[in-house]
Amino acid sequence: MMATMRQGKWQGYGQFSLDHSPTYEIETNNRQVAGDRFHQVNRQNTQPRDFSGMLGISYQLSSHQVIGIDGKGMLRWTTERTQGQLYQMGSGIPLQVYLQRTNHAQAQSEALHAYYVWTLDTLGSSLSLDGDYYRTGSHQEDQFSNLYKQNSVPDFQFDSQQDQSRTSAIYAFKVDWIKKMAFATLESGFKTSSVANRSTVNQDSLLGADQQSTPGYANAFTYRERIQAIYLSIHKPFRHLNFKTGLRYEYTLGFDYTRQLVHRHYQYLFPSASLTAQCRVHQLTFSYRKSIMRPLYTNLNPFAYYLDSYNVVAGNPALNPALAQIGEFNYVFKNTRLLTVNYIYLKDATLDVLTYDPHQQVNQSRPQSVGQLQTWYIATGQALELAKGWSLSTDLAVLYNRVDQPTHLGQWSWTALLNSDWQFKKGWSAWLLAKYASPSLYELSRIFSVSTVSMGLKKGIAKGKGFVAVEGNDLFYSDRSKTIYHYEDIRQKTVRKWQSRTVRISLNYTFGRSKVVLTNQRNSNPEEIDRLKH
């Protein structure tokens, strides 16, 4: 549900939503490592309940000045129940384990964004200030029950539990100045942010009655990070050319409270440039930029989190930021993109590396800054009007992914998308969407091909104020994930299947005016939010 309002110098909006979308998933793993073979099948049922809301209001101080504030909030309760079977074969006596896991989780987040915008002249020059506060937290409890069966050995049941808590707080403030002149446009700005991320994990006898936490920091970790950035850019239009270049400087300080696990600082310059040439209906754009990809905050945690008694996800406080060099070319004909060529070179990329502990018989996934990746992306697409009321859009892309480190692998792949839309009489409309992706390479895994087909039907009601729609997703039940991981002495094949074939019926009705345009709405999303993972 969403509502908007304009009254004099005031503007506002509100949006609230409730969601309950149960899911069911089957995952099959076949792993070969250290002379042993593991076959594991998990069936997971998830029951989520979500409530989220957004509120925003702005006030026009004068014809040139606006202030505003936005707030967001979310609550989520989730229950997951997993039942699985694991078979271990190889060097020892074959072992069969029945696995059960019950997970109860709760998560919440709140965000506050305040802004001030001052239009300096009639050309569009402006000065803006943005302040952001974002806080998120989660807590989850796991209960495990394992039943071991082995030839000539009595059955043995082992129960355990685990709980985990995470909290993150982000404070960000930035100033942006834009000066538009007849011959050029200048932009400059400053940003500062502070992040505190705290995680705790408590485990009870996952590997035996004598299980002990690693002394000092194994089950509690607090990471703090501060970033300062400043940028300057200039945009110069010529007769048939548009040229823009800029430079951004960033300084990052990251540490934990002990200064023993993480205590590093780094600074980089990030140049960027673009050139656009316009010749009648033809437009060519060349661009280059250097960027940084910092690790997820939860990936920096030094301890392990158990998915079950045989599979562990661990963090790595020694992760480095990844640096990317990005070049792109675009060709547009009559406002339609006909060709895109993109190249990305990524150094110190974070890759999930699998290892195996033969003593504890635990498979561990741990991120490591060992990747040196290259990607070529070539795409074309068109939007066609085949007949009155019938439109068709296509998109075809060819990719080349290469891993130079820690392996030497490369593979070509391609994707295709077809979207058809029909407009009929009396408010009826329909659409059809088909996708295909060929086998490809992603980091240290090879991905099998996948395809899906969806379609929908919609009928307008109440003189255009609402509609009734029905849509079916993945009609042939072909959407799934199938990968093969092979690095060092571990080879793992994973197949995931979920409730992708669904039917959804929706009813929409608009009360009052069909649309209220908010001219003062301003969006802000600090990049630090994208690094949160709960």
Q: Which domains does the chain have, with CATH numbers?
A: 2-531 (2.40.170)
Task: Give the number of C-alpha atoms closer than 13 A to the C-alpha of residue 121, restricted to the C-beta side.
Answer: 8
pLDDT confidence tier of residue 216, bands split at 50, 70 and 90? very low
- The CA distance from 413 to 442, in Å, is 11
Burial class for 328, CB neighbours closer than 10 Å (0-12, 13-18, 19+): middle
Closest CA to 20 of 57, 47, 38, 41: 47
Task: Give the number of C-alpha atoms closer than 13 A to the C-alpha of residue 179, restricted to the C-beta side.
Answer: 7
Residue 122 has phi, psi (to 5 degrees) of -75, -15
The percent of residues in the chain predicted with pLDDT above 70, rounded, is 94
Lowest-pLDDT range of 174-178, 200-204, 486-490:
200-204
Rounding to the nearest 10 degrees, give the CA dihedral for residues 230, 259, 349, 305. -130
In tens, the pLDDT along 240-283 reads 899 999 999 999 999 988 877 888 899 999 999 999 999 989 99
Residue labelled with tokens 């940084």: 292
pLDDT confidence tier of residue 91, bands split at 50, 70 and 90? low
- The CA distance from 35 to 307, in Å, is 23
- Bridge pairing between strands 282-293 and 241-256: unpaired
Q: Are 309 and 206 in contact (CB under 8 A)?
A: yes
Q: Are 242 and 275 in contact (CB under 8 A)?
A: yes
- Could you tell me which residues are beta bridge partners of residue 426? none
In tens, the pLDDT along 39-59 reads 999 999 999 999 999 999 999
Tokens, residue 122: 């009639």
pLDDT confidence tier of residue 124, bands split at 50, 70 and 90? confident
Q: What does the mean pLDDT of the chain come to?
A: 90
Whole-prediction pTM = 0.87
User: What's the mean pLDDT in 488-508?
Assistant: 92
Three-point CA angle 302, 303, 305, nearest 5°: 140
Cα→Cα distances 161→49, 106, 143, 213, 364, Å: 23, 17, 4, 14, 19
pLDDT at residue 88 above 90?
no
User: What's the mean pLDDT in 305-331?
Assistant: 92
User: What's the mean pLDDT in 386-398?
Assistant: 94
Q: Are 254 and 265 in contact (CB under 8 A)?
A: yes
Residue labelled with tokens 């990524």: 346
- The counts of H helices and E strands in the chain are 0, 28
- The CA distance from 267 to 289, in Å, is 17
Tokens, residue 334: 């009559």
pLDDT confidence tier of residue 215, bands split at 50, 70 and 90? very low
How confident is the model at residue 155, as a pLDDT? 83
Burial class for 514, CB neighbours closer than 10 Å (0-12, 13-18, 19+): exposed
pLDDT confidence tier of residue 205, bands split at 50, 70 and 90? low
Q: How far is CA 50 from the centre of its chain?
A: 19
- The CA distance from 33 to 269, in Å, is 43
- Bridge pairing between strands 311-314 and 362-387: parallel
Q: Are 5 and 15 in contact (CB under 8 A)?
A: no
In tens, the pLDDT along 130-161 reads 999 999 999 999 999 989 888 777 888 888 88
Q: How far is CA 199 from the centre of its chain?
A: 20
In tens, the pLDDT along 433-483 reads 999 999 999 999 999 999 999 999 999 988 878 899 999 999 999 999 999
Tokens, residue 96: 């069969």
